[in-house]
């Protein structure tokens, strides 16, 4: 199956995960695509193909003769799409030989180069974008397609020498629970790569330390005409909390290694409201400071409105993988060489986000992140370059061979 056809097939499946769900995976519909991938892996003749009760799909590309003692490497991608925007009924549009100009998504929406200057890099490429009503799902179905396309090539070209390769597909990465039940021992790789990056050439082994926060607010509703001194408007309290957090530490004002507080959801009424945040920072000390400051803001509002008005639930999600990857420099060195062989200029920079690989690195599986060619993840301006996707596939194939030497 051609890479383009494979990608368009995968994005046709609605695999949106949910932060509100307590099940695993958070949505059953993720298992539909995971089941399709299991069946495709079996059809290709892969061995040790499994799909467990949590939805994790794993399989093996057996080592070629003479390479059975090479390190076992893995490639991992997630199938779920972000809760931030619908991934149902995605209608991709394809531009052959993109001319470098603005892209009309629909009658009301245009993706402008002035607002998304990275588009200039992709002039001459084949681009796949949305119709402006959904996200695309390149995060991370581009990675899924690249891994499966490389797998198909290796399974049908036995002359290409490589060691044992493990392939893994996961649910729920977008809600921070992607490897909650991932069996590292069963996966059995010495090293692995998530294929979940963006811009061509990205190689990432630093990521945010991450936490999620939910503040439940119990208000007191009375008739507004007689509310003085009695009413506690839960929505007002939510707004007040937002003003206490430093405005310059919001995502739209930060870059590079700068962390942030990001309000991702508010819902409720005068009587009861809930606010959700994500807290991020690359530096461990600053990350802890951000969490302490959030607690202090909640405590301040408790003193003002009453101890039972606000309840903060703060949970760590993942940590910066750098200290777990750096002791294994060959993982990075081989990725750099694989990119150079593919004609790709490496871009080593921190992830302003996280991947399954961050947590897997702390679980004993060093796991940096490779580019996919997808851009503007989590929204209606998402797109990907088919040319860059092909290079990502070649990087996977190059890594397979480099680890066998």
Question: What CA–CA distance (Å, rounded) separates 86 from 366?
Answer: 32
DSSP 143-186: HHHHHHHHHHHHHH-TTS----EEEEEES-GGGT-TTTT--HHH
Q: Which residues contact 315 (CB under 8 A, 6 or more apart)?
A: 211, 212, 213
Catalytic residue numbers, as ranges? 80, 173
Q: Quick one: angle between helices 386-402 and 138-156, nearest 10?
A: 50
Handedness of CA 199, 37, 176, 311 (dihedral sign): positive
Among 85, 196, 73, smallest CA distance to 142 is for 196
List the Cα angle 182/393/388 in 5-degree steps.
115
Q: Quick one: angle between helices 386-402 and 329-341, nearest 10?
A: 130
Question: What CA–CA distance (Å, rounded) separates 44 from 248?
Answer: 51
In this structure, what token pair is assigned to residue 124?
A: 């001459």
């Amino acid at each position: 199956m051609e890479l383009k056809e494979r990608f368009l097939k995968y994005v046709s499946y609605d695999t949106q995960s949910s932060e509100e769900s307590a099940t695993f995976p958070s949505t059953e519909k993720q298992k539909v695509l995971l089941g399709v991938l299991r069946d495709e892996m079996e059809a290709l003749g892969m061995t040790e193909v499994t799909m467990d009760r949590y939805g994790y799909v794993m399989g093996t590309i057996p080592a070629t003769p003479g390479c059975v003692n090479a390190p076992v490497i893995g490639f991992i991608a997630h199938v779920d799409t972000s809760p931030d925007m619908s991934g149902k009924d995605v209608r991709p549009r394809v531009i052959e030989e993109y001319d470098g100009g603005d892209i009309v998504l629909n009658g009301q929406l245009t993706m402008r180069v002035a607002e998304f200057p990275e588009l200039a890099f992709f002039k001459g490429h084949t681009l796949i974008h949305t119709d402006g009503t959904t996200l695309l799902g390149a995060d991370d179905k581009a990675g899924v397609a690249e891994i499966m396309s490389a797998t198909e090539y290796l399974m049908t070209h036995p002359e290409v020498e490589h060691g044992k390769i493990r392939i893994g597909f996961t649910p729920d990465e977008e809600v921070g629970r992607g490897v909650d039940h991932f069996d590292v021992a069963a996966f059995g790789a010495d090293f692995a790569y998530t294929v979940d990056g963006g811009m061509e050439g990205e190689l990432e082994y630093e990521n945010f330390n991450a936490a999620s926060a939910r503040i439940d607010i119990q208000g007191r509703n009375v008739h507004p005409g007689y509310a003085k001194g009695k009413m506690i408007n839960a929505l007002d309290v939510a707004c007040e909390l937002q003003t206490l957090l430093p405005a310059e530490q919001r995502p739209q004002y930060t870059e590079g290694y700068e962390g942030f507080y990001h309000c991702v959801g508010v819902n409720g009424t005068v009587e009861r409201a809930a606010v959700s945040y994500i807290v991020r920072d690359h530096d461990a000390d600053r990350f802890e400071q951000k969490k302490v400051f959030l607690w202090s803001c909640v405590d301040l509002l408790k003193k003002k409105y009453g101890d039972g008005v606000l309840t903060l639930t703060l949970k760590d999600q993942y940590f910066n993988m750098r200290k777990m990857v750096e002791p294994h420099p060959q993982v990075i060195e081989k990725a750099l060489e694989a990119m150079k062989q593919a004609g790709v200029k490496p871009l080593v920079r921190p992830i302003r986000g996280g991947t399954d690989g961050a947590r897997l690195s702390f679980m004993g599986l060093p796991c940096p992140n490779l580019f996919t060619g997808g851009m503007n993840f989590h929204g209606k301006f998402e797109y990907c370059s088919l040319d860059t996707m092909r290079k990502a596939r070649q990087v996977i194939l190059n890594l397979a061979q480099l680890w066998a030497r």
